[in-house]
Amino acid sequence: MKPIDKDCRICGERIYLRPITVEDTDMVLEWRNSKTVVENFIYRKPITKSEHLDWLKNKVDKGLVYQFIICDNVENTPYGCVYLPHFDEENNKAECGIFLGENEKRPRGIGAEAMKLALDYCFEQLDFHKVVTRVLAFNKASLRMNEKAGYTQEAYLKDELYIDGKYEDVVLFGAVNPQH
Ligand SMILES: CC(C)(COP(=O)(O)OP(=O)(O)OC[C@H]1O[C@@H](n2cnc3c(N)ncnc32)[C@H](O)[C@@H]1OP(=O)(O)O)[C@@H](O)C(=O)NCCC(=O)NCCS
């Protein structure tokens, strides 16, 4: 994929998505390494600053990953990240992930709105046929959020991952481009 255009804006009712920049680093690391995100995330290991900078240089800047900051339309408050970490161009398929920072002023429903904006962008702008997302089965907020965003549960994978000394079930969600 071509690296994302730095001026790209994906606009929704309450939020917009803008491409991540190196200036976002400290904020993104704080979100990504927060207790809530680490405990609910498939990739459990906290991320170091140098790992994140490598990720930006070797993945985001090369167009292998598209990552966006979720911002409030009125005050530009940044709430978290939504990202497309894996493009499967052979099968015309993308994957989507999300994490939000802990902010008590965050309105309800931001997660679903961001996932829906990213999904529509994958279909309408990138013309992918399918988008998938994976969730640890105990992550009830994420399961519900994905349904609200337009994904359908496609598989329940028993003991799929071994995390922190325990096998965890994973739910696979998918959405197929309605234009295709
Ligand atoms: C998952 C996450 C992005 C959801 O963001 P959000 O803005 O709270 O999502 P939404 O409000 O759009 O949707 C969450 C829904 O789950 C519901 N929910 C929250 N906790 C729940 C629980 N314990 N049990 C059942 N439902 C729950 C909410 O009520 C809401 O549903 P509703 O609108 O019908 O009331 C956010 O919690 C987060 O960043 N978590 C940590 C990282 C993470 O889990 N990322 C996803 C990895 S797959």
For residue 175, the model assigns a pLDDT of: 98
Give me 103's structure tokens.
């902010």
Residue whose CA is closest, atom 10 of ligand 1?
A: 109
Nearest ligand 1 atom, CA 139: 44
Cβ of residue 45 lying under 6 Å from some atom of ligand 1: no
Which alpha helices (DSSP H) does 18-150 contain, by range? Answer: 25-32, 35-40, 49-55, 110-124, 140-149
Q: Facing residues of 167 across strands? A: 162
Nearest ligand 1 atom, CA 136: 48
Taking the model in full, what pTM does it have?
A: 0.97
pLDDT tens, position by position, 124-144: 999 999 999 999 999 999 999
Q: Which domains does the chain have, with CATH numbers?
A: 10-131 (3.40.630.30)
Task: Report CA(110)–ligand 1 centroid distance (Å).
Answer: 9
| Dist CA 40 CA 100 (whole Å) | 11
Please report, for residues 1, 57, 65, 101, 122, the alpha-carbon distance to residue 62 in angstroms, rounded to integers and kept in the order given.
Answer: 8, 7, 8, 26, 18
Task: Report CA(145)–ligand 1 centroid distance (Å).
Answer: 5
pLDDT tens, position by position, 56-113: 999 999 999 999 999 999 999 999 999 999 999 999 999 999 999 988 888 899 999 9
For residue 104, the model assigns a pLDDT of: 81
- Is the pLDDT score of 44 beyond 90? no
Q: Quick one: average pLDDT of 33-51?
A: 94
